[in-house]
Amino acid sequence: MGLVDWARIRSPWVIHFNTGACNGCDIEIVAALTPRYDVERFGIKLVGSPRHADVLVVTGPITKQVEKRIIRIYEQMPEPKFVMAVGNCCASSGAFRNCYNVYPGLDSLIPVDVYVMGCPPKPEAIINGVVKLIEKLRGGGS
Amino acid sequence: MMLQEVIDIVKVLVFPGFLFFSILGLLYEWIDRKFYARLQNRVGPLYTGPSGFLQPFADFVKLMAKEDVVPEGAEKPIFSAVPVFALALSLFAVLFLPVYGTRGIISFEGDIVVLMVIMTLFVVLIFLGGISSASRYSEIGSERAILQLLGYEIPLVASVIGAAAVTVKANPSLSIRGIVEAQSGLWSIFGIQALGFAIFLLAAQAELERTPFDIPEAETEIVAGWMTEYSGKKLALLRLARDVELAFLCGLGATLFLGGPQPVFPGAAGTVISTVLFVVKSIVVLLILTLLRAAMSRLRIDQMVNFAWKYLMPLSILQLSLAVLIPNLLAF
């Protein structure tokens, strides 16, 4: 494992994108950042600009409205970039399955590295998702 | 002759020059983040090196290895030059700081005025970087940076020139060396300069764009302000420049108001002790700045400029006149 891999594993910066979620997943993500779970311990930081980010965390059902925006945000991120789909809605359209205005899942638009299921998933589950992502980075299977 | 030149080059490049201050900047970022987290009842970086000590370094390496995106509409030459110039400027500024003894690598009569110019040039670079990146958020950010400069610049200059008033009694001087030598007895913070120190801290906070004056990069309003479009290597250099600037301003505060690195005794041991003294004093300044960051929330740009002109300006002029008048009155 080289120096770059070492650094990459230790400082995943996260950008959070809400595609129309009910805010349940968003609150759980915020809970992961606040004192109780404090993901800054692992070097995870929430940044505002997609240009600064490594991991795109998406919450909510992928509506037709948001299609262009999510692809644009994804393309604005510099390589190497990773995507996390948080919550049932984002991963598989959840309660909105077969709706005329909703895509079946985030992976029908952009490649997804990690799925975190739950409605909403607990902060522990989200941190576990990040751990899975880091294992994938290490090359130890996903 | 040759040996002296080699020693000078080592001084500039390694200690107490570029390498020393780059490491110090990363160290200060870690202290800042860690203390900030503790104030919020969090732990802060923990697993990257002992107690997360290497976190800023890991961030730097990661950003260096990332793709470097230049937006399509950007003014490419300026956009790419700004991070390099920012780092060069902050590394140039630290050469003026006395790390051990009473003088920095560069030291001449009136070097404080040069430092003031350098601090203003930072904001000019920020403006250029924001304007050249062809993004609405960056433009708003750089306009705010200039507006903010109008607010804090004069109090900052007045507090630093006021700090030079300690030299009035013995031999008047506008150099850092003179100020450090004049403080060999009593530090200038004990006296009227306490007000100057407070003004300096607020102005330094604004110069570094940290809460409550992080208006130019307000994350919740304008994404990341003037830095929005920077990525990869350029962002890494900008962040390093920021860290070195943080170390520079903390060191300047420690030098001007807390006595700086007083030479304890000659020889290698004396050098080590006064270097440690310098670092400890500037960490004290850093902790105060972090406390300010954690205790306050962001002001609006109009509130900031109002505050600066209504309160900070008159106070700084009062402090400057008192600092010059009192020693003269006592002399009579």
**CATH code where residue A64 lies:** 3.40.50.12280
* Structure confidence at residue A1 as a pLDDT band (50, 70, 90): low
Distance from CA of B29 to the nearest CA of A (A): 13
E strand or H helix at A59 = strand A55-59
**Nearest to A116, CA basis, from A91, A139, A142:** A91
- Residue A108 clears pLDDT 60, i.e. is over it: yes
**Nearest to A121, CA basis, from A98, A89, A83:** A89
- Locate the chain A residue with the closest alpha carbon to B51: A41
- Residue B264 clears pLDDT 80, i.e. is over it: no
Contacts of A16 in chain B (CB under 8 A): none
Distance from CA of B17 to the nearest CA of A (A): 25
**Nearest to A85, CA basis, from A126, A135, A134:** A126
Query: Based on the structure, what is the number of domains in chain A?
Result: 1
- Residue A140 clears pLDDT 70, i.e. is over it: no
Backbone angles phi, psi at B189, to 5 degrees: -65, -25
Using CB atoms, pick whichever of A4, A51, A80 lies closest to residue B231.
A51
- CB neighbours (10 Å) of residue B76? 12
Q: Write the DSSP symbol of residue B51.
A: G
Rounded CA gap, A21 and B37, in Å?
A: 29
Q: What is the token pair recorded at B295? A: 């205790």
Q: Which among A33, A37, A49, A81 is the top mutation candidate for probing chain B, defined by the most B β-carbons within 10 Å of its own β-carbon?
A: A49
Rounded CA gap, A101 and A88, in Å?
A: 17
- CB neighbours (10 Å) of residue B110? 10
E strand or H helix at B143 = helix B136-163
Give the pLDDT of residue B176: 84
Q: Write the DSSP symbol of residue B217.
A: G
Strand ranges inside A60-113, DSSP E: 82-86
- Residue A141 clears pLDDT 80, i.e. is over it: no
Contacts of A10 in chain B (CB under 8 A): 47-48, 54-55, 58, 62
Cis, bond preceding A80 (omega within 30 deg of 0): yes
Rounded CA gap, B198 and B177, in Å?
A: 22
Contacts of B219 in chain A (CB under 8 A): 47-48
Q: What is the token pair recorded at A124? A: 């522990």
Give the pLDDT of residue A142: 39
* Structure confidence at residue B67 as a pLDDT band (50, 70, 90): confident
**Nearest to A113, CA basis, from A55, A71, A74, A69:** A55
Rounded CA gap, B58 and B128, in Å?
A: 28
- Residue B54 clears pLDDT 80, i.e. is over it: yes
Mean pLDDT rounded to a whole number for chain B: 85
Asked whether the beta carbons of B158 and B319 are under 8 A apart, the reply is: yes
| Residue A113 domain boundaries | 3-138
